[in-house]
Amino acid sequence: MSLLERIGGPDDLKALRPDQLAPLADEIRRFLVEEVSRTGGHLGPNLGVVELTMAIHRVFSSPDDTVVFDTGHQSYVHKLLTGRRNFSGLRTQGGLSGYPSRAESQHDVVENSHASTSLSWAHGIAAGRVVQGQTDRHTVAVIGDGALTGGMAWEALNNIAADSDLPLVVVVNDNERSYAPTRGGLADHLATLRTTRGYERFLDWGKTTVSRTPVVGGAMYETLHGVKKGLKDIVAPQGLFEDLGLKYLGPVDGHDEPAIEAALRKARAFRGPVLVHVITQKGRGYDHAVNDEGDQFHAVGVINPETGLPLEIAGRSWTDEFSEAMVEIGAERDDVVAITAAMMIPVGLKDFCERFPERTFDVGIAEQHALTMAAGLSYAGLHPVVAVYATFLNRAFDQLLMDCALHRAGVTVVLDRSGITGPDGASHHGMWDMTISGVVPGLHLAAPRDGHQVVRALHAAVAVADAPSVVRFPKGTVGDPITAVRTVGAVDVLAEPDAGDVDVLLVGVGSMAATTLTAAEKLEAEGVRVRVVDPVWVLPVSPDLVTLASSARRVAVVEDNVVVGGIGSQVALAVRDAGSDVPVDSYGLPKRFLEHGSRGQVLDAADLTPDAVAASVRARLT
């Protein structure tokens, strides 16, 4: 039996001898490479936290002590050490989640995979236990240096430091990266801490050498020790954290398990909040990951573990279409600039950055700052394009509303991974953006149905100078172009029996246009007259779409957004305001958190398939 097979929980890990820990770490890395290469997932981050996670579970007692992982994509090792070794279905329907999951284990607490939240969670948990007199229970927050670029983390640190009796340990997993290398002033400060260890060595020399000086040696050492704050600012500037009131330990080699354990035991014994700075290497132990300059295998698909190469070559993606269009627009207009929130490669801005580095801003994991900075750039005479995952627009809603829309700023927001993303689950589905965008006055929103329309929509969006514009598209391979048979004003007609009245007007929003076309074929086979349209720009609702609605007995809007407050409800309101009594039916995602699975599986469960839509429309016509 291997060492890993003997680990059914943290107690088994604690029972291992010190000389068994390095072999266990090697086993875990081999397991991760073998299993994640079969399913895809966050490989690089987990290879980097093996010894750190082992040390946490040997020093603390989960679940009595609570471990909170920021973002949670680096929790695979934690899953293994808490008895979950069946990775065969990782990130697939019915299998292990790619993030912590309360349904899986009592050792998992925070499922939200949005970054920079762990310290607030940990502060609340620790403070709540203090209020209840449970001061012997510790809370550990593991946060990466990338997540520390988020403002919410610093709001939490400010409050944590003010509570001097809090039994809370903040572990900074410093690998110099989030998806890509961490940027900004904090990154520079952490880099200084990594490379400057002189203070502790100097103080050790003082204790052993100066103290031996007759008569005055002890006094000299105390004086020297008394000015340690000044020395630290000069020799090892960890004062940034200690000025906040946090005890700082480190930096510690994140692949020296005994050293991490020693630092964590000191932190646990300290009566108050402590920050332990641990230096790790993303992709540790797997050369293909370490040598990947892009993101060190932050997230991979199915790969050959021997070569690190994908087993299937992906087709052209929606992101590729956006990426090329951005470079084209950048060459045409020198006022167009790009902003990313620590996701240069995933959102398709890498090529733009390489071509126009002075016009590209990576603000770190700071979506709120990104949107308000964009408003400022617009005021300064530029047209910013902010590219983020659709789910992360949630974090910047106030800035979109009050900084961009209120000030009529010409800002374009590009939302990648809109709709159902699949294997990353509830917190990554981009299913809320059209609902929250729908309440923003003056906002324009395009949902392209294919790659050609992405290019058209982006060109149109950057031409909007007096309001925010949004372009959304899904994850994955883009399909063949869908050609319009005619255009009615701003609306593309994709299919119709003729130009006359119809039984049903099917409105396909964005990538759901293909679904509506197939549903229409099924209905037409039963004698139902169907017209399929793509509004192109879904917000504000086009008067041309309202006119087309008047020529149908019913309207059905199909979208991959939460049905409550989505485009269907916007169309229904516009039709009613126009004095029409044509009923409008909305087909969208249910208002609940949807589990991980393939995109097709999740859409099928939500009845957003051609068969389900056709059956429902048919039933409502009778």
Q: Which residues are catalytic?
A: 282, 367, 395
Calpha distance 606→115 (Å, rounded): 28
Q: How far apart are CA 212 and CA 197, in angstroms?
A: 24
Cis peptide before 63 (omega within 30 of 0): yes
CA distance 274 to 160: 10
| Tokens describing residue 603 | 């859409």
> Rounded to an integer, what distance in angstroms lies between the CA atom of residue 508 and that of residue 532?
7
DSSP 467-492: S-EEEE--SSB-------SEEETTEE
Indicate left, alpha or beta for 187 from its phi (over 0: left) and psi (-120 to 50: alpha).
alpha
User: How far is it, in rounded angstroms, from Cα 349 to Cα 438?
Assistant: 26
DSSP structure class, residue 594: P
Distance CA 131, CA 21 (A): 37
Distance CA 404, CA 444 (A): 12
Strands 360-362 and 336-340: parallel
Q: What's the rounded Cα separation, in Å, for the pair 310 and 345?
A: 17
List, in order, residues 6 or more apart from 306 with CB less than 8 Å away.
none
- For 280-295, b/e burial (b = at least 16 CB within 10 A) is bbbbbbbebbbebeeb
HSE toward the beta carbon, residue 296, CA cutoff 13 A: 21
Whole-angstrom distance, CA of residue 154 vs CA of residue 118? 11
Nearest residue to 371 (alpha-carbon basis) of 385, 391, 356, 390 = 385
Query: Is the separation of the CB atoms in 340 and 361 below 8 Å?
Result: yes
Q: Is 266 helix (H, G, I), strand (E, B) or coil?
A: helix
Quote the CA–CA distance of 437 and 459 in Å, as a whole number. Answer: 20
Distance, CA of 377 to CA of 490 (rounded, Å): 30
Tokens describing residue 19: 């000389």
The one-letter code for the residue type at 476 is G
In 75-189, where do the E strands start and end?
A: 139-144, 168-174
